[in-house]
Amino acid sequence: MAKNIILWLVFVAASLMLLFYYFGASGLDYAITVNGEPIGGLQGMAFATGGLLIAGLAVVGGLALVALVLAGTSMVLLGVMAFFFLVLLFVFSPVLAPVVGVAIVIALLLRKRKNKSPQDVG
């Protein structure tokens, strides 16, 4: 629920920022030149808005790429940590083997059986 609210707030904030930019920039005189011809008015505003949308798409693409890199890095680091854990486990296994063996024997002796088969009764 909170995630949806945050996403809606970000969407509304981005929309308001685009509207403020659009109406604020519409009073400015852009100097856009295409093939030597100056473009102004509504066409100039369309070019400026198109440039803003392309910049927004570039930012979203960059953020997605950064997210993929961070996710991949975290998986690699998780694998490295698991490798070091297994190495430490194998290094200390001669020390842990008697303790684990005794714990397993005690667990087997003290366990309670849930189902008694007919062979165990008689």
Convert 82-114 to b/e letters by CB count within 10 Å (16 or more is b).
Answer: eeeeeeeeeeeeeeeeeeeeeeeeeeeeeeeee
**Residue of higher predicted confidence among 118 and 12:** 12
Rounded CA separation 19/41 (Å): 17
State which amino acid sits at residue 80: V
Rounded CA separation 82/89 (Å): 10
Q: pLDDT above 70 covers what percent of the chain?
A: 84
pLDDT of residue 13: 86
pLDDT tens track for 13-26: 888 887 777 776 65
**Residue of higher predicted confidence among 9 and 31:** 9
Q: pLDDT above 90 covers what percent of the chain?
A: 24
Q: What's this model's pTM, rounded to 2 decimal places?
A: 0.44
Distances, alpha carbon 87 to alpha carbons 74, 91, 111, in Å: 20, 6, 32
Would you say residue 40 has pLDDT above 80?
no
pLDDT tens track for 67-110: 999 999 999 999 999 999 888 888 877 877 788 888 888 998 98
